[in-house]
Amino acid sequence: MSISAVPTFDLEESLAREGYSVIVGFDEVGRGSLAGPVMVGAAAFLAQRLPQAARSMPHYLADSKMLTERRREALYEPLQQWADAWAVGSATSAEIDEWGISHALGIAALRALDAVERTLFGAFADASETTDAMPAAQSEGRIREQGSMPAPASSPQQPTLAADWDAHMPRVGAILDGPNDYITKALGTFEAPAVPVPAHVVTQVKGDQHCGSVACAAVLAKVTRDRLMTRLAESNPDYARYGWAHNKGYGSQAHRSAIAQYGPCDEHRTSWKLL
């Protein structure tokens, strides 16, 4: 796919026609890394705003893997302003070792979804919580980044969602990149946050190439994780020797050579074959 072949909102609009009031695109980053967290980005769009969002899609948005680092960085803030709400959830290397990568991805995605819904639904989501809700989503470092589109002063950002909460709970539709739905599998498990409104998940192979919401989530997740791995390398010489500022924790030859020389550190996934 060339950069000129931009994603569309066709699948998002199809979900909106089915009655979903919020559409959330999800994409992951860091699955194959040897070190650092896995992250899942979530980019939410109100169904009523999909036509406007389609018209205002940031220029050059495409599959994050096909964009240069400079282009991804340039898109980072515009994408934050474009989505109605967004978040990047993460699962640590220790959690990956304990749970396995698929469940860790599911928990990271649910942490992002929980943050997005609380941004959109606010106090109405908090009031819907049960007393035994797990606080995992609020734990330090679990939500790496989140935000929402600034609302015009004359038009509150989500009046319909909030005002209609008691009348009918919003329906949330989700588009997950790839063939496997690890989000629904993780829902309701001991480690999962108490998401206010469980999402109906559809999977889309190469979703980051075809769906605007997924492409947005992919870039937000990629930039967030790349920045984290660079900060780790720059903040600690014990991390810097693994070259994370360049390889972002993936298994480059230089990274594997450093593991062979120095051994793994606390950010490495020790259940994985590192050498």
pLDDT digits (tens, 9 = 90+) for 200-217: 999 999 999 999 999 999
Q: Which pLDDT value is given to residue 275?
A: 76
Per-residue model confidence (pLDDT) at position 61: 87
User: What integer is the mean pLDDT of 222-242?
Assistant: 97
8-state DSSP, 91: E
- In angstroms, the CA 274 to CA 251 distance is 8
pLDDT for the residue numbered 232: 97
pLDDT value for 131: 31
pLDDT value of position 134: 30
Least confident segment among 18-22, 78-82, 97-101, 128-132: 128-132
Q: Which pTM was predicted?
A: 0.86
pLDDT tens digits along 117-166:
999 998 555 555 533 333 333 333 355 556 555 433 333 334 345 555 55
Average pLDDT of every residue of the chain: 86
User: Average pLDDT of 41-54?
Assistant: 96
Interatomic CA distance for residues 246 and 225, integer angstroms: 12
Quote the CA–CA distance of 174 and 199 in Å, as a whole number: 6
* Confidence at 192, pLDDT banded by 50, 70, 90: very high
Q: How many helices (H) and strands (E) does the chain have?
A: 13, 6
Integer-rounded Cα radius of gyration of the chain: 19
Taking a C-beta distance cutoff of 8 angstroms, is the pair 93, 100 a contact?
Answer: no
Overall fold of domain 10-229:
Nucleotidyltransferase; domain 5 (3.30.420)
Percent of the chain with pLDDT over 90: 75
Closest CA to 34 of 112, 90, 104, 97: 97
Distance CA 123, CA 198 (A): 17
Cα dihedral 217, 207, 203, 48 in deg (nearest 10): 60
Q: For residues 64 and 141, which has the higher predicted lDDT (pLDDT)?
A: 64
**Mean pLDDT to the nearest integer, 70-85:** 96
